[in-house]
Amino acid sequence: MSLDGRYDADNIFAKIIRGEIPSVKLFEDDKVLAFMDVFPQSRGHALVISKTSQARNILEMEPEVLADVVAATQKLAKAVNAALKPDGLVVTQFNGAPAGQTVFHLHFHVIPRYEGEALGRHGEGGMADVEDLRALAAKIAAAL
């Protein structure tokens, strides 16, 4: 999918927001939702999305909504750092399929990095064990 196109209301993150498919949530309010990535590139990989915007990418995102999502991303990064004590943290955001975007509902990734541990390939890792994700999420949520 290119940068131009229509928002698909049945994309996987829209379904998560509507509660139609499960997710391991970290925090949410009426504006944003943070949850664990089920195909993590590292231990503690998590995502932040807007619950109100239908922006597929950063070009379409309303600036005031983007401000809320970025603030939530910082909040998540701080909690991941406090809970998991990584050696580094990657914050990424992809726009358009050629850039690596696979879900067309704007989102930020928070990906902890650990010394000596290679980063899993974006979009090509295996599915995490849900109990492992829940245990990580409990630690991160406790650090919010």
Give the binding range for ligand AMP (CB under 6 A) out of 25-33, 69-77, 95-103, 136-144. Answer: 95-103
Site string (4-23) toward ligand AMP, x via CB under 6 A: --------x----------x
The angle formed by the CA atoms of residues 14, 37 and 133, to the nearest 5 degrees, is 120
Q: Tell me which residue has tokens 């067309």.
A: 104
Give the binding range for ligand AMP (CB under 6 A) out of 26-34, 54-62, 82-90, 97-105. Answer: 97-105
45 counts as catalytic: no
Decide: is 103 part of the binding site for ligand AMP (CB under 6 A). yes
Residue nearest to ligand AMP (CB): 39
Decide: is 91 part of the binding site for ligand AMP (CB under 6 A). no
Residue whose CB is less far from ligand AMP, 40 or 86: 40
Residues known to be catalytic: 107
